[in-house]
Structures are given as C-alpha cells and as structure tokens.
Amino acid sequence: MHTVRVELGQRSYPIAIGEQLLQPEQLQVFLQDIVKSRQVVVFTNETLNQLYGGQVRKALAGRQIDTFVMGDGEQFKSLQTYQAAMDFLMQHRHNRTTCLIALGGGVVGDLTGFVAATFQRGVDFVAIPTTLLAQVDSSVGGKTAVNHPAGKNMIGAFYQPKAVVIDSSVLSTLPAREYAAGLAEVVKYGVIADADFFAWLENNITPLQQRSADALAHVIQRSCEIKADVVARDEREGGVRAILNFGHTFGHAIENLAGYGTWLHGEAVSIGMVMAARFSQKVCNLPQEQTQRLSALLAAFDLPISLSEPASVTDMLNAMGMDKKAADGRLRFVLSAQIGSAWVTDSFAADQLEDVLNEFCS
C-alpha cells in the first residue's frame, strides 16, 4: 500500500492506494482510527452495493450501519437525491457524530460529500472511489456538489473527507467506457503539470489498455500526487487550483447541453481538452504538434475528440457563461502554452473563441 497525504493543516488526510484494500480485514485496520462514530451510513448504488457493500459493512461491524442506495448516473446527482438522502438520515435517527461512507464513482462521491458538508452543519465522511475517474480526480480535494439544470456542480461546498481508500483491483470489473473516461483525467494531469508523465502515458498505452496492475498503480499514485500538491496550495480554488479544470469549461457545457448522462464526464472533458488545446494555439501559441499529441493519446484510449452531432455556438456560449470560473461576467479558461504547464486567463479575443466553437460545433 502507498499513501499520499493531502496537506491541509488540521484538515489533512491520507489517500491509501493499493490492491485488495476493500478486503474486510485490510479495510478494518485502515479505518479503525478514522471512523470513530457508532453510526455509519454507506452511500452507494445497487450494483456496487452487491459487489462491495457487504465487505465494507463487515469491515465496520459493531456499529449501527445503514445503507442509502441511490440511482446510477449523472442525472441522479441532483437536489432530488440530496433531499432523499437527508430524509433517510432523519428517518434512521442519525446525528452530528455519524460518519458517511461514499462507496462508488464520482456521482456517489460528490453527493455524499455534499450531504456530509450540510447535514447538521457537517459530519465526517470517507471516500472509497470505485471508478478510475473518481480514484484519480473527484475523490481527492474536497469538491462536493449536486447539479442544477442550468449548470454542472452549481450547488456544493468545499468539504474534505477524513480519508480516501483506493483499491485499484476493483477496476478489473469497470466497464470499458467508464475506464476510458477515467483515463481522460489522467491525461489532463500530464498536460497541466508534468510533461514527463504525459510522455510516459504515450509510451504505455498498451499496458493501460490492458489494465496492467503496475501501470495503474503508477497513474493513480502520480495523479493523486499532482492533485494533492495543487489542493494543498489552493484548497478553495482562489488561484492555481483552477488549472485542474483544463478542458472542463468546454466539457461541462457539452454535458449540460446534451443532457446529463448522455456523455460521461471524462468523455466530455476529453473533447473539452482538445477544444482547449486548439484555443491555446490561438491565444498563447501552443504548438500544433502538441495538440496533435494530445488528440492522438486521447483517441488511443478510445476517447472522443470531437462532437458526434452538431451543436449551437450560441447555446455553447450561454452554457459556458454559467461556468464557475467566470468572473464579473467574463469567461475564464485554463490554457497551456506547452504540455506540462497551464494557467487561467480571461485575456482573449471573442473571435478566437468563436473560431474554435465554430470548428467543433459545425
């Protein structure tokens, strides 16, 4: 087992990474000093409850353990599910000392964290991510939220978990499309922070396609290290943390306009990163060869790099206007002048953005 720490003073916490960490004996040892509450609620969906719910409950034996089973898919990361979760906690008489366990992908994790942040002004939660995307990205950093019809993750809070437990062996049962979606976020880390890591991904396409245990161990640990470092420097996204959203301004608009659940988050981000790279070519002279490298790597992982149907430029602009990075009515984008670095800017010409949108939306 490897441990990466997110250093946030009193809110610091460990990310445990390894194989078979969901075996009850291993999980019990890791959680015994973290979950101190007599009451526990496992948040999960039906499939994961059948696969791993029993193991988690066995590891937490001796406590009052309830299980909240929610729908599977981005459309269930909603205020309706949030209300149902709050009703469940009230009905089962949970109090401010309870601990929530998020057993699932990004949808389960984001919703559980938001419930934890707001139930009785905040209770403990532990993240046990079961998708690659959640393991390398959404489970780390304390962003919790639900969606609003007008925009993704518009209702939420910054609220850190007590710990994250990443069992890479669960990825063997992950559907191919979900697995590829997680690789999009992995590629993102190379673009924004580590050119050597990006090159390593280019040289290890086949092991990653085959879900090699060694390759996965490396990408999960390196991705978590990069995100932990960024979050430690800027917990609440007042500055550098925004670089983690490379491709997301475009990607969130794509998800919203298509209807939540049509595109997986990682798929929309994959298209969004190619759009951000093309935009970077125009605004800050990212070499075309590097955009081509990014597109080729994403395509090699069976990720989309263009929209499958035409879209309205006006609708895209309106959807992006709801992006959380927008400030004082002006859009801000994460751009890159070379693979391995990124920054946030609102300095661009309107026709540069419209050119990119016309290229991809037509």
Contact predicate 169/159, CB 8 Å: no
Strands laid side by side in the 124-129 sheet:
2-6, 13-18, 163-167, 124-129, 99-104, 39-45, 64-70
Does residue 248 carry a pLDDT above 80? yes
Q: Examine the residue annotation and report whether 265 is marked as an active-site residue of this protein.
A: yes
Instruction: Tell whether the model's pLDDT for residue 215 goes beyond 70.
Output: yes
Residue 143 annotated as catalytic? yes
Q: What is the pLDDT of residue 322?
A: 76
State which CATH number among 3.50.50.60, 3.40.50.1970, 3.40.640.10, 3.40.309.10 fits the domain covering 2-173. Answer: 3.40.50.1970
Determine which one of 77, 152, 248, 278 is catalytic.
Answer: 248
Q: Which of 228, 212, 113 is nearest to 162 (CA)?
A: 113
Mean pLDDT of 314-341: 88
Segment 320-331 mean pLDDT: 76
pLDDT value, residue 339: 98
CA distance 116 to 111: 9
Q: What angle do CA 156, 224, 279 make, to 5 degrees?
A: 70
Active-site residue flag, 354: no
57 is catalytic: no
How much is the pLDDT for 21? 97
The pLDDT value recorded for residue 80 is 97
Annotated active-site residue 148? The verdict is no
The overall average pLDDT reported for the chain is 96
For 26, 29, 168, 240, 360, the CA distances from 20, given in Å and listed in that order, are 8, 13, 7, 34, 42
121 included as an active-site residue: yes
Of the residues 57, 94, 252, 325, which is catalytic? 252
- Verify whether residue 94 is a known catalytic residue: no
> Is residue 326's pLDDT more than 90?
no
pLDDT at 324: 65
> What Å distances lie between residue 129 and 105, 170, 229, 249, CA to CA?
5, 9, 20, 24
Say which of 74, 185, 255, 267 is annotated catalytic: 185
**Residues 164, 168, 169, 172: what is their CA dihedral angle, to the nearest 10 degrees?**
120
Tell me the per-residue pLDDT of 93-117, one tens digit each, with 9 for 90 and over: 999 999 999 999 999 999 999 999 9
Query: Is pLDDT above 90 for 183?
Result: yes
- The two structure tokens encoding residue 54: 């029993």
**What pLDDT band is residue 151 in, cutting at 50, 70 and 90?**
confident
> Domain map of the chain by residue range?
2-173, 176-361
Angle in degrees, CA 175, 26, 223, rounded to 5: 50
Residue 241 annotated in active site: yes
State the average pLDDT over residues 164-172: 97
Which residue is catalytic, options 19, 74, 225, 237? 237
Could you tell me the pTM of the whole model? 0.94
Q: Which of 241, 278, 324, 332 is catalytic?
A: 241
Q: What is the mean predicted confidence (pLDDT) over 64-89?
A: 96
CATH number, domain 176-361, options 1.10.3720.10, 1.10.3470.10, 3.40.228.10, 1.20.1090.10: 1.20.1090.10
Backbone angles phi, psi at 5, to 5 degrees: -105, 140
